[in-house]
Chains A and B, each alone.
Chain A
Amino acid sequence: MSRHRAKANRWALTLAFVGILGGLLPSPAHATLVNVSGLVPKGGSWANYNTSRCTTGAGKPTLEVQAWAGDNADMYFYIRSSQTNLAIGSYTSSNPRRFPLHDGTIRGFGTIVVGTCFKISARKDGFPFASGSETWTGLLSH
Chain B
Amino acid sequence: MIRPLVVITISLILAGCGGEPGDSESFQNAEAVRAEIEAAAADTPVPPGTTPDVTLNDNGGVYEPGFGRQLVQGRAMCAWFDYWLTALAAGRSDDAEVASVASDQFSSWDIYIAADSSYTELIDGIIDSARLGDPTPMRQFVENNCALT
Chain A interfacial positions (CB closer than 8 Å to B): 5, 8-9, 11-13, 15-17, 19-20, 23-24, 32, 38-43, 45-56, 67-68, 70-71, 81-86, 93, 113-117, 121, 123, 131-135, 140
A-B contact pairs, 9 of them (CB 8 A): A8-B4, A13-B7, A20-B12, A51-B64, A53-B116, A70-B18, A84-B148, A132-B19, A133-B22
**Across-interface contacts of B141 in A (CB, < 8 A):** 115
For residue B90, CB closer than 8 A to chain A, the reply is: no
Are A12's CB and B7's CB within 8 A?
A: yes
A5 to B6, CA, bound (A): 13
Chain B interfacial positions (CB closer than 8 Å to A): 1, 3-5, 7-8, 11-12, 15-24, 26-27, 56-57, 59-64, 66-67, 70-71, 74-75, 77-78, 111, 114-119, 121-122, 125, 137, 140-141, 144-148
B145 to chain A minimum Cβ distance, whole angstroms, is: 4
**Across-interface contacts of A68 in B (CB, < 8 A):** 16-19
A122 to B61, CA, bound (A): 9
